[in-house]
């Protein structure tokens, strides 16, 4: 059977779009319209307006093959961002490969929380926006969190770590493309092994899915996000334990540790951080109301 039933040379762009939406819907894909538009645009190298203004143009067989190849990948539940190799985060266009977690909108909550701290909650309530802040991002993946912060904090410098060399290469590439590389060093290591502080702000979206839960996730996540970026061990908390063990020695006085949480992990992570000598604040919720970010300081 054809990948997109009905699609053939001499189909119009509008027809191709309609057939793709139909095929994606049938396959239970969550956002069939948006996905069809993005993939069609990518295959034909047309933006949204061009797709619209050329809706009646007829496709040739080479174009149909290109469209079918991308649609086949989406039907195998590869996320559109991976097919495009691009994902927007905090309005920054980031390259993504199979070696990094696709940055999620939820994680922008962590960026917001970090910027809030810088603007309002800094040392003695001083606005730290223009200070030479030192940032550490543990498990940076595509570099999303670090690069969003460096974009906002023009005098800050950062260290970004990841256990995956391939991920660090992606993050560094993003930093270079965005003109931020001069303010960040990228280190391949577990958590923060070999990294010396002090840091004013430590951020992390660590792997936090309990090992046995990975099998229950959507195929887009389960089969396409790297296991290293998801798997938080038996109870999902391994990375938080490792971060808690290192945080005190890495934080500057008055500095902050901020982590993203998985659903239902607030109490357990609060406990781990409290036991490591930190004071933990109220969580910050994401747009869905889920407690998503926990913030901790050293107890004086």
Applying CB under 6 A, the residues found at the interface with ligand GLN are 101, 104, 205-209, 221, 230
The CB-nearest residue to ligand GLN is: 208
- Cβ 14 to ligand GLN shortest distance, Å: 34
Closer Cβ to ligand GLN, 20 or 210, answer by number = 210
Would you state the torsion angle of the CA atoms of residues 147, 151, 155, 156, taken in this order, to the nearest 10 degrees? Answer: -20
Closest distance to ligand GLN from the beta carbon of 221 (Å): 5
| Nearest residue (CB) to ligand GLN, 3 versus 147 | 147
Instruction: For residues 141 and 168, give the distance between their C-alpha atoms in angstroms, rounded to a whole number.
Output: 7
Contact 189, 164 (CB under 8 A): no
Residue 234 beta carbon to ligand GLN: minimum distance, rounded to whole angstroms: 14
**For residue 24, what are its two tokens?**
């994606």
DSSP state of 4: S
Is-cis flag, bond preceding 198, omega within 30?
Answer: yes
Least separation in angstroms between CB 31 and ligand GLN: 16
Query: In the structure encoding, which two tokens stand for residue 51, read together?
Result: 């797709």
Q: Note whether 83 and 124 are within 8 A (CB).
A: no
Cβ at position 101, least distance to ligand GLN in Å:
6
- Comparing C-alpha atoms, which of 81, 205, 200 is closest to residue 145? 205
Nearer to ligand GLN, 16 or 272 (CB): 272
Tokens of 20: 């793709």
Q: Which is nearer to ligand GLN, 72 or 288 (CB)?
A: 288
> How far is residue 135's CA from residue 144's CA, in Å, rounded to a whole number?
13
Nearer to ligand GLN, 91 or 216 (CB): 216
User: Which CB sits closer to ligand GLN, 37 or 270?
Assistant: 270
The DSSP secondary structure of 121-137, one letter per residue, reads: SSGGG---TTS--EEEE
Could you tell me the smallest distance in angstroms from the CB atom of residue 217 to ligand GLN?
Answer: 6
């Amino acid at each position: 059977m054809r990948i997109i039933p009905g699609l053939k040379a001499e189909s119009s762009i509008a027809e191709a779009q309609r057939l793709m939406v139909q095929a994606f819907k049938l396959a239970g894909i969550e956002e069939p319209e948006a996905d069809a538009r993005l993939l069609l645009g990518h295959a034909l190298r047309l933006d949204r307006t061009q797709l619209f203004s050329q809706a009646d143009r007829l496709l040739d067989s080479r174009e149909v093959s290109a469209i079918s190849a991308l649609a086949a990948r989406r039907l195998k539940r590869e996320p559109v961002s991976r097919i495009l190799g691009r994902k927007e985060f905090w309005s920054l266009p980031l390259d993504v490969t199979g070696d990094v977690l696709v940055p999620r909108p939820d994680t922008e909550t962590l960026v917001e929380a970090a910027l809030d701290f810088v603007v309002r909650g800094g040392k003695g309530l001083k606005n730290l926006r223009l200070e030479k802040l030192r940032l550490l991002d543990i498990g940076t993946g595509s570099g999303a969190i670090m690069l969003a912060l460096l974009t906002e904090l023009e005098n800050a410098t950062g260290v970004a770590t990841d256990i995956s060399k391939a991920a660090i290469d992606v993050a560094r590439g993003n930093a270079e493309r965005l003109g931020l590389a001069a303010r960040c060093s990228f280190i391949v290591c577990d958590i923060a092994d070999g990294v010396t502080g002090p840091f004013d702000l430590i951020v992390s979206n660590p792997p936090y899915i309990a090992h046995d839960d990975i099998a229950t996730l959507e195929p887009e996540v389960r089969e396409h996000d790297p296991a290293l970026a998801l798997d938080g061990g038996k109870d999902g908390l391994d990375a938080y334990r490792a971060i808690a063990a290192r945080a005190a020695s890495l934080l500057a006085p008055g500095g902050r540790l901020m982590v993203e949480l998985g659903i239902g992990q607030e109490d357990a992570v609060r406990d781990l951080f409290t036991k490591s000598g930190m004071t933990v604040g109220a969580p910050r919720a994401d747009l869905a109301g889920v407690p998503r970010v926990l913030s901790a300081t050293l107890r004086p």
